[in-house]
Amino acid sequence: MSASRATRRTLAALLAAGTLLGAAALPAAADDHRRGGHRGPHPSLSIGDVRYESGPRHDRSNRALNREWVEIRNTGRHSVNLRGFTLTDQQGNRYRFPDFRLDGRSAVKVHTGQGRDTRHDLYQDRNRQIWNDRDTATLRDQRGNVIDTESWGRRGHHRG
């Protein structure tokens, strides 16, 4: 009977340890998933700030084009590979993300013009302005699921 008692004690100790480890890990895992308002499988991704160029539309200098950008934020703890994700405007202009890993708790600005991609700046390599003073930016994952939208203009600021 003593072997059975020792086995039961060992099993009880293992179960208690597992319960403690599970309870300690739960708040950290839940932190990335409890934020509401986002659709799809990437709740930590969202469109942050948007800067459209309200200057003359004929200014196609690379400097003017790069003053336009849309920020993509990752509020989660883990990095996300944005390869195949798209960023579109109301007119159907589309930017497809390259193989780019957005670190947790960080952001990247997607500029309209040309430049060298870095951890914090990506470039669409376009030669004309994309974002208007009344527009909508939509971020979709590689399957076409809408992750987030951001609208601005005459009817005011709207998050979708």
The 10s digit of each residue's pLDDT in 89-106 is: 999 999 999 999 999 999
Residue 146 has what pLDDT?
A: 96
SS3 18: helix
> pLDDT confidence of 31, banded at 50, 70, 90?
very low
126: its two tokens: 């376009």
Distance (Å, rounded) from C-alpha 106 to C-alpha 24? 25
Q: Dihedral (C-alpha) 61, 68, 121, 158: value to the nearest 10 degrees? A: -170
Q: CA end-to-end span of the chain, whole Å?
A: 65
